[in-house]
Amino acid sequence: GESVGLHLPTLSVQEGDNSIINCAYSNSASDYFIWYKQESGKGPQFIIDIRSNMDKRQGQRVTVLLNKTVKHLSLQIAATQPGDSAVYFCAENGAGTALIFGKGTTLSVSS
Amino acid sequence: GAVVSQHPSWVICKSGTSVKIECRSLDFQATTMFWYRQFPKQSLMLMATSNEGSKATYEQGVEKDKFLINHASLTLSTLTVTSAHPEDSSFYICSANRNRDGGTDTQYFGPGTRLTVL
């Protein structure tokens, strides 16, 4: 079946570095993508979203890039802070209202 | 805005009992809510889609008679785990759809409910 996946299960960075978390999706009909952050024992928190008619969207310290040609999504976090340590999930909203989640990347930020 | 709450945050029950989990959208109305379960170090698995005023749509492999869903109002959906067993122990998370930017529905998640069945 079609699914959303992430390239790396874990990513370790130093405080202040920029982080890039990647996601590959397979459903070419997907037209909406979301990045969520989940801290231990909590529900996912919306970070940023992007529609398929865009290739880049910026938020506060975060940027999402969408490459529809290779079906690739990335989340860039500038000046990563210890509070950014969490599991990051990409999700796609393809044919319906339900989301398909990737497996998640655990970001660890060391001081 | 877009706050979703769940109650209880955690619950411990005996095997064979039923547990009800509430999901509320606090500052917006949601015609569609979703229920997920998540095992340790795994991604979220969609269990069912809850539609206000109609029957829930369950994902393949999810027993509708075991996981009863009721979406009685635009701000409340409930999940009842009937005759719970230890294998039902998990982290249950709900989400609610909210329209953003005038055209796209985005899911906002509750804080989750940790269920432990003894």
- DSSP per residue, B84-103: --GGG-EEEEEEEEEEETTT
pLDDT tens profile A39-62: 999 999 999 999 999 999 999 999
Contacts of B61 in chain A (CB under 8 A): none
Nearest CA in chain B to A52: B104
For residues B109, A89, A91 and A69, what is the CA-based torsion angle, rounded to 10 degrees? Answer: 160
Q: Please state, in angstroms and rounded to a whole number, the distance separating the CA atoms of residues A36 and A32.
A: 13
Q: Please state, in angstroms and rounded to a whole number, the distance separating the CA atoms of residues B48 and A65.
A: 30
Least confident of A52-66, A69-83, A94-108, B36-50: A94-108
Nearest CA in chain A to B6: A43
H/E stretch holding A5: strand A4-6
Least confident of A36-40, B80-84, B104-108: B104-108
Question: Mean of the pLDDT values across residues A74-99?
Answer: 90
Q: Place A96 in a pLDDT band, splitting at 50, 70 and 90.
A: low
Contacts of A34 in chain B (CB under 8 A): 106-107
